[in-house]
């Protein structure tokens, strides 16, 4: 048995490593600037797109200064799960969520929406930009440009982004054809998006050292001896940029 998904993912990784390199470098500069200037970094995605917000948040090797925006009605533990689809399409919900976030000029928002068409992410990105926040958008440009917006403005996520990271996946996200049908399986957006963001975080940490920080705000594993103490020391230094309880 051959697993076609591996071939698809490996090809996509090579594609984004080449095609998105310049945009990823721009992200490294933007995130580094934010940390050095004592600004906060936020991350948002609805439903499965929100998995990347969890990937960036409160984990060993991650930036301490990244705060997720968890909107209760579009999280995957919401029941019934179909309710999340209705809520991410509900006009005005994203704006109300955004109003609960203490965005300040100079902050950064990382957003993720593969299709980029649903109001919740569009509205959060729009609201953030109006507050002077720089917006990084992870999306699939081919996919997004092939569908209509569900927002009354007719605009999509990429219209509100300062930097766009294209995941270069298939329209519909899944990539492995199912024989004898017109369906595909194997979504790629989570894997590819996580690889791009983890690569950006790792390079941001090194860029911060190059800029003179001896210890960048990167979590130690809490499961190594002394990890908790080291994290508490970093927290005290960067607590003004950390917008969640620690």
pLDDT digits (tens, 9 = 90+) for 15-74: 999 999 999 999 999 999 999 999 999 999 999 999 999 999 999 999 999 999 999 999
Does the pLDDT value for residue 246 go beyond 80? no
Residue 245 has a pLDDT of 79
* H or E segment to which residue 142 belongs: helix 141-145
Q: Which of 199, 245, 193 is nearest to 48 (CA)?
A: 193
**pTM to 2 decimals?**
0.96
DSSP classification of residue 63: B
Q: Please, which pLDDT band fits residue 105 given cuts at 50, 70 and 90?
A: very high
Judge if the upstream peptide bond of residue 80 is cis by omega within 30 degrees of 0.
Answer: yes
> Quick check: 5 and 178 in contact, CB under 8 A?
no
């Amino acid at each position: 048995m051959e697993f076609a998904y591996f071939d698809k993912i490996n090809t996509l990784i090579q594609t984004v490593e080449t095609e998105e390199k310049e945009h990823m470098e721009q992200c490294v500069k933007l995130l580094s600037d934010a940390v050095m200037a004592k600004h906060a970094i936020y991350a948002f995605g609805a439903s499965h797109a929100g998995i990347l917000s969890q990937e960036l948040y409160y984990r060993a090797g991650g930036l301490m200064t990244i705060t997720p925006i968890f909107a209760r009605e579009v999280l995957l533990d919401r029941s019934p799960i179909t309710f999340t689809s209705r809520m991410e399409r509900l006009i005005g919900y994203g704006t109300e969520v955004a109003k609960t976030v203490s965005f300040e000029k100079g902050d950064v928002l990382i957003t993720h929406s593969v299709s980029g068409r649903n109001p919740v992410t569009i509205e959060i990105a729009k609201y953030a930009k109006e507050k002077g926040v720089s917006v990084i958008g992870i999306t699939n440009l081919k996919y997004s440009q092939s569908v209509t917006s569900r927002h009354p403005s007719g605009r999509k996520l990429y219209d509100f982004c300062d930097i766009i990271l294209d995941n270069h996946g298939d329209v519909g996200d899944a990539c492995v054809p199912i024989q004898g049908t017109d369906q595909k399986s194997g979504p790629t957006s989570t894997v590819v998006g996580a690889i791009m963001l983890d690569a950006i975080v790792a390079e941001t940490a090194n860029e911060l050292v190059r800029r003179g920080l001896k210890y960048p705000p990167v979590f130690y594993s809490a499961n190594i001896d002394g990890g908790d103490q080291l994290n508490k020391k970093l927290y005290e230094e960067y607590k003004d940029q950390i917008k969640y309880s620690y």
